[in-house]
Amino acid sequence: MIASMKWQDWTNVALGIWLAVSPWALGFAEQQPAMMNAVIFGLVLAVFSLLVLGGTVSAKEWINMISGLWLVLSPFVLGFTSNFHAAVNTMLIGVLAAVFAAWALSLDKEIGNWWHDHVTGH
């Protein structure tokens, strides 16, 4: 498990841990929606970056990418855009997590082979 992890996985682990503790570090723990979102999705990022789901690496990357996209949208959906630190932190972590997950997916040979066979027509 650990040997197959890419640097993008380790980066998403660190981002997830930061996100989970950021409500207290940045002082928005009293804002319930922002705090719960940060803790839950921080743990999701950290845990799923450490897992290999069903023998496929791409499943965890897709989960991390979707989680990252949610984090970008969540300040608007959950209504905490007025809290600058919470909103910017959440959106920044979301963008980074999604980019690193997409980057790791781009390195996956199975996806590369599928793309080559189905999209490029070769």
Choose among 98, 45, 50: nearest CA to 73. Answer: 98
pLDDT in tens, 39-76: 999 999 999 888 754 455 677 888 889 999 999 999 99
The residues that bridge with 53 in the sheet, in sequence order, are 56
What's the predicted TM-score (pTM) here? 0.80
Q: Is the Cβ–Cβ distance between 102 and 56 less than 8 Å?
A: no
C-alpha distances out from residue 77 to 61, 83, 91, 111, Å? 23, 14, 12, 32
- Annotate 58-88 with three-state secondary structure: HHHHHHHHHHHHHHHHHHHHHCCCCCHHHHH
The pLDDT > 70 percentage for the chain reads 79
The domain ranges of the chain are: 2-118
Half-sphere exposure of 9 (CA within 13 A, CB side): 21
Helices (H), 1-122: 7-25, 32-50, 57-78, 84-107, 109-118
